[in-house]
Structure 1
Amino acid sequence: MDVEVELSRIIINETSDQQIIVLKERHGERAFPIVIGIVEIFAIDRRLKGITPPRPMTHDLLANVIDGLGAQVQRIVIDDLREHTFYAKIYLQVNGRTVKIDSRPSDAIALCAAINAPIFVADHVFDKTGP
């Protein structure tokens, strides 16, 4: 089962390439951190602050391509954790069918921040990140 989550915290460290976001259950208490890159953290942070760059950034470009093709992002799902690496899928609705696209969670979350799409985590991923 997939559980809806929200960005609970964004921890930016400008002296490091490794940044941290914390995802928390929307209707629960479980949460876990994900280490992401500095480019993705700044893209997410800009969107959450309502800052629109003068030209499309990478995740804006992806959102524009999806829209231009007549598709919609239904949701993203962080669906696995293997050897300390998270995996995600972007679910697109295209001409009445669902298409799953493999993605790094950081890119998928940045895309969701750009278009306000929901983020989900597979229940078993929470088990793997446990206390």
Structure 2
Amino acid sequence: MTDMQIIELSEVGGTRAFPIVIGLPEAFAIERRLKGIEIARPQTHDLLANTIQALGGELLRIEITNLEEGTFFARLIVSKGGDEIEIDSRPSDAIALGISKGVPILVAEEVLEVASAQAAAGINPVPEISADMEDEDDDQDEDEDESL
């Protein structure tokens, strides 16, 4: 759980905001894009953007579409040949890509309403690790140790 970061999305022209828990690599990718830091070789999000473009598509927007049991869902909206194609994505990847391409990042009204109300009420966005999950992680670590 130490590799978790939080990004806060805020409503443009409004007061609502909410956090999304993301991984450390995605946080670095988003920070790099926000600061305009260029790197010599393409990273995963750059690769996806380049692939969309090479295949004749154009990223139109990012949509945060759903919130289920503390997990946010997103999709990339790509235009190709006059059609809009929806691609399922983790919000962190979608946000990093959206920032790099300068496209709008939209949040469904229901998601904004629920997530911002939870944030205002102080509900923790980080799911607690259950004892069962910790046991599974320990078992997996033991299996990995045995295979080495």
Q: TM-score range by the shorter chain?
A: 0.7 to 0.9
Shift of 1:126: 1.6
Over the matched positions of the two proteins, sequence identity in percent amounts to 53
Equivalent position of 2:22 in the other structure: 36
Matches within 5 A, 1:1-131: 16-129=2-115, 130=117, 131=120
- TM-score w.r.t. the length of structure 1 is 0.86
Aligned to 2:103, what secondary structure does the other structure show?
coil
Higher RCO (CA-CA < 8 Å; seq separation 6+): 1
Shift of 1:16: 2.5
Decide which structure has the larger Cα Rg and report it: 2
Aligned residues: 117
2:112 & 2:79 partners in 1: Cα distance? Answer: 26
- For structure 1, the 5+ residue unaligned runs are 1-14
2:76 & 2:98 partners in 1: Cα distance? Answer: 9
Q: Which has the higher helix share?
A: 2
Q: CA-to-partner distance for each residue in 1:83-128, whole Å, 9 max, x for gaps?
A: 1000001100011000001110000001112111110000000222
Q: CA-to-partner distance for each residue in 1:28-64, whole Å, 9 max, x for gaps?
A: 1100000000110000101111111100000000000
Q: Letter of the 1:104 partner, please give it.
A: R
Q: Which has the higher strand share?
A: 1
Deviating beyond 4 angstroms after TM superposition, the runs of 4 or more aligned structure 1 residues are none
Q: Letter of the 2:111 partner, please give it.
A: V
